[in-house]
Amino acid sequence: MTDDTQEQQITAAGNEMSASFLAAKKRSDATLAKLEENPGKFTMLTGDRPTGRLHLGHYFGSIRERVAMQNRGVNSNIIIADYQVITDRDTTEHIEDNVLNLVLDYMAAGIDPNKTMIFTHSAVPAENQLMLPFLSLVTEAELHRNPTVKSEMEASGHALTGLLLTYPVHQACDILFCKANVVPIGKDNLPHVEITRTIARRFNERYAKKRPVFPEPAAILSEAPEIPGLDGRKMSKSYGNSIMLGATAEETAKLIKKSPTDSERRITFDPIARPQVSALLTTAGLVTGRDPKEIAEEIGDSGAGALKQYVIESVNEFLAPHRERRVELSKDMDSIRDILHDGNKRANEIANETLEQVREAMGMRY
């Protein structure tokens, strides 16, 4: 293959992705407009893998929007994807603690279990059984093209597991079992919703032309900015650069004080040239609602120490109500478990009904 041919293929792939994103953005905007008019017609599915505690990036990236959707009157569902932990990890150590802490953070942030169904993968067999017919509707090549699968293959350094390869189909089961028609996501997760739309469309065309079983869900593309970690890299639990929602004020202060900056005394907002200083300013801007540039100008020549102190005070003030509610909720962990058990019960009822519809459409009710 010549260099020119390779360049042409890369350009074509980029154009295809741009066209796909533009179409998804147009669909997202149109769906949001309809949702504002009649939120009760929409069902939302979102979720998290219980691989650790939630941090500020999760809050601004997804949780805040979930609470807003719930409060608008959207039929809201949150899956705690415990089975997906083992797509790329060989242990389930601490998983129960992680699951229960997710529920604590959801509720402290404003998720109401009377309005939002919270449930776990492993407790809903019928949802997972949808994997079998869904797998028959996609090709191996389509799964290999998924960006999450591709990036994990490149980064892992070991053989691709069957569960990781089928990860996009498992997510389609999560979305479609409850007939979700909106999925709030960031741009990077758009391919997951696109393959879910493909699976829904192919199932309906193959087995249910007269009475479609599944909606083709629309991605609601998040306007939330990408939130850097305290070291300027992506905020990630694995990097240790994240401010956890449930951390104490003292733990938060210690983490921010240790965050790297640079040798220049004057504070300026420049994400390219000064990523670490700019990460701290971005964090301060998010929790105060201020422009990071304005904060930088205010601190000026006072240096990194003054910046860190401002970030510590701002973050701790912002998180104080969350932490207070979280501590109160954690005094009764039996109630937290009851909320999860109730959500699992409701999810099973929905999943069993959907699986029956699938079996009927496929002529498998004997």
Identify the top-confidence range among 19-23, 29-33, 227-231, 321-325.
321-325
Q: What pLDDT, on a 0 to 100 scale, did the predictor assign at position 124?
A: 98
The band of 9, judged by pLDDT with boundaries at 50, 70 and 90, is very low
The band of 16, judged by pLDDT with boundaries at 50, 70 and 90, is low
pTM (predicted TM-score) = 0.90
Following DSSP, what letter does each residue of 181-245 receive, concatenated?
-EEEE-GGGHHHHHHHHHHHHHHHHHH-SSS-----PEEEE--PPP-B-TTSSB--GGGT---BT
pLDDT digits (tens, 9 = 90+) for 201-213: 999 999 999 999 9
Following DSSP, what letter does each residue of 292-336 receive, concatenated?
HHHHHHHHGGGHHHHHHHHHHHHHHHHHHHHHHHHHHHHT-HHHH
The band of 2, judged by pLDDT with boundaries at 50, 70 and 90, is low
Orientation of helix 190-207 relative to helix 167-177, angle to 10°: 70
Q: What pLDDT, on a 0 to 100 scale, did the predictor assign at position 255?
A: 93
Name every residue whose Cβ is closer than 8 Å to that of residue 12 and which is 6 or more positions away in sequence: none
Q: What pLDDT, on a 0 to 100 scale, did the predictor assign at position 156?
A: 66
Which pair of tokens denotes residue 312?
């510590």
The whole-number average pLDDT for the span 124-137 is: 97
User: Rounded distance, CA 59 to CA 310, Å?
Assistant: 20
pLDDT digits (tens, 9 = 90+) for 329-357: 999 999 999 999 999 999 999 999 999 99
Q: Which residue, among 232, 247, 253, has the nearest Cα to 313 in the 3D structure?
A: 253
Distances (CA, A) of 292 to 243, 252, 286, 314, 315: 18, 20, 8, 13, 14
pLDDT digits (tens, 9 = 90+) for 260-298: 999 999 999 999 999 999 999 999 999 999 999 999 999
Which pair of tokens denotes residue 44?
């939302």
Is the distance from CB of 306 to CB of 314 less than 8 angstroms? no
pLDDT digits (tens, 9 = 90+) for 35-82: 999 999 999 999 999 999 999 989 998 999 999 999 999 999 999 999
Phi, psi of 159 (to 5 degrees): -60, 140
Q: What pLDDT, on a 0 to 100 scale, did the predictor assign at position 231?
A: 80
The band of 13, judged by pLDDT with boundaries at 50, 70 and 90, is very low
Mean pLDDT of the chain: 91
Using left for φ > 0, alpha for ψ between -120 and 50, and beta otherwise, residue 165 falls in: alpha
Question: Could you tell me the domains of the chain?
Answer: 26-224+333-361 (3.40.50.620), 237-330 (1.10.240.10)
To the nearest whole percent, how much of the chain has pLDDT over 90?
76
pLDDT digits (tens, 9 = 90+) for 297-316: 999 999 999 999 999 999 99
Is the pLDDT at 7 greater than 80? The verdict is: no
The band of 10, judged by pLDDT with boundaries at 50, 70 and 90, is very low
User: Rounded distance, CA 17 to CA 247, Å?
Assistant: 39
Q: What pLDDT, on a 0 to 100 scale, did the predictor assign at position 212?
A: 96
Q: What pLDDT, on a 0 to 100 scale, did the predictor assign at position 327?
A: 96
Which pair of tokens denotes residue 194?
């696109």
Q: What pLDDT, on a 0 to 100 scale, did the predictor assign at position 11?
A: 46
The whole-number average pLDDT for the span 215-219 is: 94
User: Rounded distance, CA 354 to CA 281, Å?
Assistant: 47
Which pair of tokens denotes residue 39?
């939120």
Distance in angstroms between the alpha carbons of the first and the last residue of the chain:
54
- Length of the chain counted residue by residue: 366
pLDDT digits (tens, 9 = 90+) for 165-206: 999 999 999 999 999 999 998 787 888 899 999 999 999 999
Half-sphere exposure of 324 (CA within 13 A, CB side): 6
